Amino acid sequence: MTPTSGELLLTRLALSASHSPQAHADFTALLAEAPDTLLPVAFRIALEGSGPVDTAIRDALAAIAADLTETQLVDLLAIVPTGTAALAHTAETLTRTLLQRPCTDRQRSLLLRHLGRTLRGLGRWEEAVPVLEEAVRILRVLTAQDPDTHQDDLADALHGLGRTLLSSGRRWKEAEPVLEESVRILRVPAAETLDTHQARLANALHNLGSAFMWSCRPRSGVPVLEEAVQILRVLAAQDPETHRYDLANALNTLGECLPWPDGQKEAVSVLEEAVQILQVLTAEDPDTHQDDLAHALHHLGQTLWQSRRAEEALVIAEEAVQMRRVLAAEDPDKSTLAYVLLHLGDTLTTLGECHEAETATEEAEVILRPLRAQYPGDYPSEGTLTSAGIPQARDVAGPPRIDPATWAQAT
């Protein structure tokens, strides 16, 4: 079978697999017949978004993984772009298969960091925690033996673990010392990669500041976040395309942490800057940045309202609600829409628009009542006039991509 005919057949089966179990089975069987030729083709199809190819590839790999060599597995992993959602299940299967083979401690730590990141991307935060804890344990031993070679990897693994703990229920206190250790390591950069280290340090500081905020210690987060913003301002001035998004999100979190009432004027200024950056980014790429802009607008509106600037807050709140309605149309989790509706209700009440406020609040309550019943304590109580914050954690570049060169270097 030629690659062209195989690609055509795989594409047809992929398009049918979402509604035909037989097509899914045929797709899996076809991949198993000629994995060297057809798996790379299937990867390309998955990255182009043609049907639920990822799970079909995963199923095929599960059937043939024992027959694939280490070289084949590494070559396939090298095709998967870092952080992609299109092949997340495939990346998990390839990584777990390699973890079952003999490998060095450094290779194992690399695989564990990749697996942890993949599980985070799949929303399986609790599963990712022990995976990353094992990576940290291995790298602590390696760093004690050769700090120059391994401490950068240890910092990355600690940061990944800290970020995962931030998103794993209410484990913010556990995240604090992990992120603090990552920050301490990243404060000693290698001169030849100064900008890379500074960016990673800024993101680690941002996550540490978030941990303080979520642990009800926002004042402790302020100096940490101010340092992150200071670093990112310099980096964004040098390379705006790479760093302005991180700067906007660090500004957003800093604005949330600045104390009330003393820091409210500065918070408004900081959040307005974040909104301005995100408006530009959203105009360039709405699908990627609209959610972040809605988040920043929500908190700017809250801060204006707390600063007794209700008329200005109303304009911002209405824009946030409009944006959240668009996003909620394709998202089964409507809680973020409920939060901005609650704030809109607060603002309208302050301005004496009681009927409109009641309408907005009731719409929010329709969304939140079943969520409160399902997850007691995780959502604001009915009648509460303050809307809950929307958690947000920044990621870093993560572990190096697994390809033949990095795999050989880790031997």
Model pLDDT for residues 216-257, shown as the tens digit of each residue: 888 889 999 999 999 999 999 999 998 999 999 999 999 988
From the number of C-beta atoms within 10 Å of its C-beta (0-12, 13-18, 19+), residue 4 rates as exposed
| Single-letter residue type at 166 | L
Question: What distance in Å separates the CA atoms of residue 372 and residue 243, rounded to the nearest whole number?
Answer: 38
Question: What distance in Å separates the CA atoms of residue 218 and residue 212, rounded to the nearest whole number?
Answer: 6
Instruction: Let me know how many helices (H) and strands (E) the chain has, helices first.
Output: 19, 0
The pLDDT assigned to 15 comes to 67
Is the confidence at residue 2, as pLDDT, over 70? no
Name the nearest CA neighbour of 169 among 391, 331, 345. 391
Q: Residues near 174 by Cβ (< 8 Å), separated by ≥ 6?
A: 165
Reported as a single tens digit per residue, the pLDDT across 120-169 is 888 888 899 999 999 999 999 999 999 988 998 999 899 999 988 887 76
CA distances (Å), origin 185, targets 158, 182, 204, 382: 10, 5, 10, 45
In this prediction the pTM is 0.77
Is the confidence at residue 369, as pLDDT, over 70? yes
Question: What distance in Å separates the CA atoms of residue 276 and residue 245, rounded to the nearest whole number?
Answer: 11
DSSP state of 403: S
